[in-house]
Structure 1
Amino acid sequence: MHSILVKDYMDENPHAIMKDATVRDAVTVLMKEQISGAPVIDTQKNLVGFVSEQDCIQEMLNDAFYCEGSPDVTSVMSKDVQTVSPNTSIVEIAEQMAKRPPKNYPVCADGKLIGLISRRLILKALLENDDDCYIHT
């Protein structure tokens, strides 16, 4: 398989959540866009975290049943986020994903969010580039 890079398959317009959003705001975006998680950014597009459906469940439970206000997304997001460069090999990321989470990697350059690479996009890249693996008769 020839070298394929994250920049060739990443989502260049990921649905990011602003860091001052509430958990309720984040859940609204996740549901509307039908995604399981999203990067959290500041106004300069600096990555500050990642929020997933799992991160939001307890807070939404508190909001819905205990009438507690929705806290800021920064209170539930993961702050230690694994990121990748746009020049990272798709094969390298696929090998990491095969061993452990996360399902999505924010793609950053100089600390700024420029894209997102997901399991679905990794699979697409592998599928589109697997011709070298078949023996043609």
Structure 2
Amino acid sequence: MSYEEAKRPHSLEANDESQTEEPQPKVSRKTLVEGDMAHRINEIQMRMQKKKEMLRKLNLAKTYRTKWETQDLGALTDQWREVCQTALEDLRGRLKEGIIGDSGQSELTLKTLMNNLGIDPELVRLNEEEDSFIT
């Protein structure tokens, strides 16, 4: 044994040997990292799809809210009601001319006309007693 070898403590030699005898993994680190990365990429892509779908739904809800505001909807409902009332009165007038002139039958009421057409009298605000519309 040389002088250099004698100066070295024996405990270090034992540690050196144990470090060099590490068991090698059966799967390389590169394969593990690639597999882990592929899994993480897949998870992130799935999260992105969910976020995109949620964003699409939120944009759709926003569009409907801005397009069909309740104030506008009320105004449109009133407009529809007025047009419907006018159309029913016009139709009754045209039918009256044909019915009275041809067969002499009794007068056609708005209620009868609307029942035949399947229109709910309450929707167009029919006053049945006066046979006219409430405006």
Higher strand share: 1
Could you say which TM-score interval applies, normalised by the shorter chain? under 0.3
Q: Whose radius of gyration is greater, 1 or 2?
A: 2
More helix by share: 2
TM-score (norm 1): 0.19
